[in-house]
Amino acid sequence: MDVHGGKGIIMGPNNYLGRNWQGAPIFITVEGANILSRNLMIFGQGAIRCHPFVLKEMALAGREDKQQALIEFDSLLLKHIGFAVSNAASTFILNLGFGHFERAPGNGLSQGYFRALNRQAAAFAMLADLSMMLLGGELKRRERLSARLGDVLSHMYLASAALKRYHDLGSPDHMSPLFRWAMEESLGHSERAMDEILSNFPNRILGGVLRAVVFPFGRRHKGPSDRLDAEVAQVLGRAKGDPTLEELLAGCYRPQSADDPVGALQQAIDLLSAAYPLHKKLQVAIKSGQVKPDAGEPVIDPALRIGVLQADEAQTLRTAEAARRKVIDVDDFDKEELTLAAGKIR
């Protein structure tokens, strides 16, 4: 919508974004604009369900045979303590840089991200255990803390999905800009959420100690760089048939007819790309003073008159310009079309 501007605001048959934009609030209000999901459910429920010991410990607390339950609980508790200590040690060792020597699948690019995700997973497990231990049932009422823990978990899932996809495709070089962007985006958000957790940890002294464990050298992932953003944006401007673009658009609705708004957009891109060398040629002639159009006169006409452009080149530019105007122009209607009359449906 930011790029389309008025094209996405003025409703009409050629506005292919407006209805989706209007529907956006509907998509996110199932759980109260997703606030309930983020603040309470993702971590508040997920941490208990997914934890290797907590759910079993809670179940033992309600068992009728208290003696047997106590024996099993002691065994589980020892394993739980070992799990927590192991996570804390792993987090510190991995973040000191020793994780660089651990084995990881994939090629040189994906191996680094496998290790980064492993570091974050260990840190998350440690923070989750300590948060539940210190806050207990209060954790659900500390919604901002619970939400940030949910953010870490969510972005680790997204990072793992990107890793799996890239690995399953055979780690192709042409997909590396998209892969790096996805990983830096997710790992950056995950690290920022952990940073905010530590800054707002209930026990400030413990929060400071944990920061030294999780970020001994500061944050490593701060989101995609401007250069990486530009690499990904450049992919979107490539011609049809490009392997990276085709992989990105696989499964998308891609009509080819110029009568369809999306098809007209694709046709405009193709025509403008083909006319780009002629456009540059015309700009050079204008800048040098060779072509001097009169006020309000299309620059193609004087260029054609003095021979800077041939007839077929001028037609190519006109066709491209017409296609460009078609996708930029918004829908407009006569007053009569908008007037509600008897027997007429608006």
Give me the active site residues, please. Answer: 31
The strand ranges marked E within 115-181 are none
DSSP string, 233-301: HHHHTSPTT-HHHHHHHTTS-----TTSHHHHHHHHHHHHHHHHHHHHHHHHHHHHTS--PPTT--THH
Q: How far apart are CA 287 and CA 103, in angstroms?
A: 59
Q: How far apart are CA 322 and CA 4, in angstroms?
A: 18
Cα atoms in the Cβ-side hemisphere of radius 13 Å centred on 59: 10
- Given a contact cutoff of 8 angstroms between Cβ atoms, the answer to whether 210 and 196 are in contact is no
Angstrom distances, CA of residue 8 to CA of 13, 17, 226: 11, 6, 26
Among residues 168, 202, 162, 205, which one has the least CA distance to residue 185? 162
CA end-to-end distance (rounded Å), the chain: 25
Helix (H) or strand (E) holding 24: helix 18-27
Among residues 84, 102, 120, which one has the least CA distance to residue 215? 120
Angstrom distances, CA of residue 23 to CA of 37, 101, 232, 251: 20, 49, 28, 22
Instruction: Give 259-267 contacts, CB < 8 A, sequence gap 24+.
Output: 261/13, 261/14, 261/15, 261/16, 261/327, 262/16, 264/14, 264/323, 264/326, 264/327, 265/327, 266/240, 267/323
**219 residue type, one letter:** R
